[in-house]
Structure 1
Amino acid sequence: MSPEALEIASNFILDAPPGELQDVRADIESLLGDDASLIEELTPAIEQYNKEQLVSVVLPGGSQRVIVSEYNELPDGRYFDVESQSSWAFDHVTQKASAVQTYTLESKHADIIKSAVRSLSTHLSEHYPALPSSGIYPSTDDSTIAVVIVGNKYSPSNFWNGRWRSFFQFDPSNGSLTGTIKVDVHYYEDGNVRLLTKKSVEAQLGSGASGAELVKAVAAEEKKYQEELNREFVKLAEGTFKGLRRQLPVTRQKIDWEKIGTYKLGQDIGGGRNNDGGKDNECGRQ
């Protein structure tokens, strides 16, 4: 594949909507040919996509969903999860986990992390109804703690998919909490509409904050952003979208779309009389 074609195909991969990576990959293969060399060239983009999108997977022999991200990647390319005390190998192309092993957390913040993990499970059960996953991990230099949450909701039969992602970094030394919340929703029945939005957040916890207090702060920031989104959706529905079209014709009667072919456009919908000498012609010409 030429460098230009590889860049374009990789960008398609990185921009794949929630739950639609395999569809995008199949489309690329149908255009460029399905061969091992193509997949090999696209693997770096697929790996980046999986980690950025917080792809989750059920480990062999288990039922809990665990996250694949840059925050829990081990030096040997494996990934780990604190709650299940496991590490695993991951095939980014097939999105399958294998070779599960026991993992022991080693961190000076282990007590905070384990406490936060327990509190986060309650938060997910209360606010994420479908396919939630989360992880809390020490940074590589063990100076900060990462909290990541992803909630997926897929409904391809209704032509839409959505994903909520939260990324937070907590510094126990000074109690600072920074992060980003991202929402991605794709609707594609008879067209393509996509919502991509994000918000940066900052908060200050007290010195010596516990794991439960950390999760409480994360939950507060998520709630605040969800309420902001709800307010904006109401504004769109009552303002911008409402102004795009007239809700009812000038007769104030709803149109029976199944009988649209029987309407006489000017008389029945526009509310005017038959064109007798140009009377009631809304454009003002006779």
Structure 2
Amino acid sequence: MSRTEALSSFIDSAPPGEIADVTKAIKSILGDDSVQDELSPAFQKYNEEQFTTTKLPGGSTEVLVSAYNSLGDGRYYDPDTQSSFDFDHATGKASAVQSHVLESSQEDLVKSLNKSLSTHASEHYTKSSSGVYPTASDTALALLTVANKYSPTNYWNGRWRSAYIYTPTSSTITGRINVDVHYYEDGNVRLLTSKEVNIGHVGSGAADVVRKIAAEEKKYQEDLNRAFANLSEGVFKALRRQLPITRQKIEWEKISGYRLGQDIGGGGRR
């Protein structure tokens, strides 16, 4: 593995909201600020896969960056604002906004789906962004949603991503839901989970399509809630060690001062 490949793997696995911290750590370790140029392709891959959001200059809403709305050469478009923009993958900033008219045989469906999906996202997710884009063949539509919630002061960050391909001619939806949560107070725990979605016969109206998507996402969230409850009451509870013989809680910050088998176990010196 080359140096660039190794460094790119760190970028690729960066937790939600922590890409800047990972980049800063890489620069600090290498003592080389110019490494950012070397990692430019890795930044682009990360941003497109994670559905990174950005505000257009003078705008108030977040727009998506993905492979589905890429125009090439670092430019992306947003059908909702009918504009295109340059995106700096290293800084996450948008610039050079221009008017962009969507040219697609699915234009009307894109607009109606975009409205329905936006309503669904705003009702169910905080700080969410969504977008609907024709695929390269213009025979299907990509429906993307991302919801980020960052709380670094409480040592956790999380991201919900969903991507669906809706094919009007077959009235089917295929896609994937991804959940990524990182908790790092007094430890380092990360949840990475996903679900494949395959729905047939969803109807032809935008409301029907989004209703089916909403039902799948609700079911997945309920499944996750049940799984967490089972972990808390089952596996995690079983892993918790009972109190030692002294019936005293261990003061872990003083663990280096304990004499194993004596202070912890309650035995005396022989």
TM-score after normalising by structure 1: 0.84
SS in 2 for 1:10: helix
- 2:173 is matched with which residue? 177
The alpha carbon displacement at 1:33 in A equals 2.4
Separation in structure 2 between the aligned mates of residue 76 and residue 11 of structure 1, nearest angstrom: 23
| Structure 2 counterpart of 1:168, from 164, 167, 192 | 164
Separation in structure 2 between the aligned mates of residue 192 and residue 245 of structure 1, nearest angstrom: 17
| Structure 2 counterpart of 1:191, from 178, 187, 202 | 187
Give the % identical residues: 55
Q: Which runs of 5+ in 2 are unaligned?
A: 256-260
Separation in structure 2 between the aligned mates of residue 75 and residue 30 of structure 1, nearest angstrom: 32
SS in 2 for 1:146: strand
The alpha carbon displacement at 1:121 in A equals 2.0
**Structure 1 pair 31–109 and aligned structure 2 pair: CA distance change class (3 A):** same
The alpha carbon displacement at 1:122 in A equals 1.6
- 2:26 is matched with which residue? 28
Separation in structure 2 between the aligned mates of residue 11 and residue 53 of structure 1, nearest angstrom: 15
Runs of 4+ in 1 over 2 A off after TM superposition: 33-36, 246-251, 253-258
**Structure 1 pair 206–50 and aligned structure 2 pair: CA distance change class (3 A):** closer
Contact residue 74 and residue 88 of structure 2 kept, 8 A:
no
- 1:225 is matched with which residue? 220
Give the aligned residue type for 1:232: A
Contact residue 83 and residue 100 of structure 2 kept, 8 A:
yes
Give the aligned residue type for 1:21: I
- 1:201 is matched with which residue? 197
**Structure 1 pair 31–115 and aligned structure 2 pair: CA distance change class (3 A):** same
The alpha carbon displacement at 1:30 in A equals 0.9
| Structure number with bigger Rg | 1
- 1:89 is matched with which residue? 86
Give the aligned residue type for 1:39: Q
Separation in structure 1 between the aligned mates of residue 209 and residue 105 of structure 2, nearest angstrom: 16
Separation in structure 1 between the aligned mates of residue 17 and residue 53 of structure 2, nearest angstrom: 11
Matched, 1:119 2:101: no
The alpha carbon displacement at 1:249 in A equals 7.3
Separation in structure 1 between the aligned mates of residue 39 and residue 213 of structure 2, nearest angstrom: 35
Give the aligned residue type for 1:118: K
Separation in structure 2 between the aligned mates of residue 148 and residue 41 of structure 1, nearest angstrom: 29
The alpha carbon displacement at 1:221 in A equals 1.2
RMSD between aligned alpha carbons? 2.7
The alignment covers a number of residue pairs equal to 263
Matched, 1:210 2:208: no
- 2:36 is matched with which residue? 39
Higher mean displacement: 49-58 or 80-89: 80-89
Q: Which runs of 5+ in 1 are unaligned?
A: 276-286
Separation in structure 1 between the aligned mates of residue 158 and residue 208 of structure 2, nearest angstrom: 29
- 1:7 is matched with which residue? 5
Task: Note the alpha carbon deviations across 1:49-70, whole angstroms, 9 max, x for none.
Answer: 0101110001100101000000
Higher mean displacement: 44-53 or 115-124: 115-124
Separation in structure 1 between the aligned mates of residue 245 and residue 82 of structure 2, nearest angstrom: 66
Give the aligned residue type for 1:229: L
Matched, 1:106 2:103: yes
- 1:70 is matched with which residue? 67
Contact residue 202 and residue 208 of structure 2 kept, 8 A:
no
Task: Note the alpha carbon deviations across 1:122-159, whole angstroms, 9 max, x for none.
Answer: 21221112x21111000011011000100000011111
TM-score after normalising by structure 2: 0.89
Contact residue 118 and residue 131 of structure 2 kept, 8 A:
no
